[in-house]
């Protein structure tokens, strides 16, 4: 099951990564199952997060995929426009 919600449309690029936690808490039905590891991947050498993967006992339990106004982002602080949450 995957949920897709637009977010960050009213934020400047300076606040995008700072507000990821608050925005994901506002997504209806958003829930992260129990996890013991978090892996974060970035786009190239930028500070833009590509995915956040939550695992428990070696198995992925949820993946956040972040989408920016320019895909893929090539400069730091590209405006974040969407987050997709997938549960395997």
Q: Is the pLDDT of residue 23 over 90?
A: no
CA dihedral of 69, 83, 46, 33, whole degrees rounded to 10: 180
What totals of helices (H) and strands (E) does the chain contain, helices first?
1, 5
Please give the model's pTM, rounded to 2 decimal places.
0.66
Structural domain of 56:
2-86
Structural domain count, the chain: 1
- pLDDT band of residue 31 (cuts 50, 70, 90) is confident
The residue assigned the tokens 């602080």 is 77
pLDDT in tens, 35-65: 999 999 999 999 999 999 999 999 999 999 9
Q: What angle do CA 76, 71, 2 make, to 5 degrees?
A: 110
């Amino acid at each position: 099951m995957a949920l897709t919600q637009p977010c960050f449309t009213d934020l400047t690029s300076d606040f995008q990564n700072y507000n990821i936690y608050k925005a994901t808490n506002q997504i209806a039905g958003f829930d992260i199952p129990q996890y013991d590891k978090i892996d974060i991947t970035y786009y190239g050498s930028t500070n833009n997060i590509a995915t956040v993967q939550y695992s428990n006992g070696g198995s992925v339990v949820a993946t956040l995929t972040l989408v920016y106004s320019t895909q893929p982002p090539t400069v730091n602080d590209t405006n974040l426009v969407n987050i997709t949450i997938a549960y395997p």
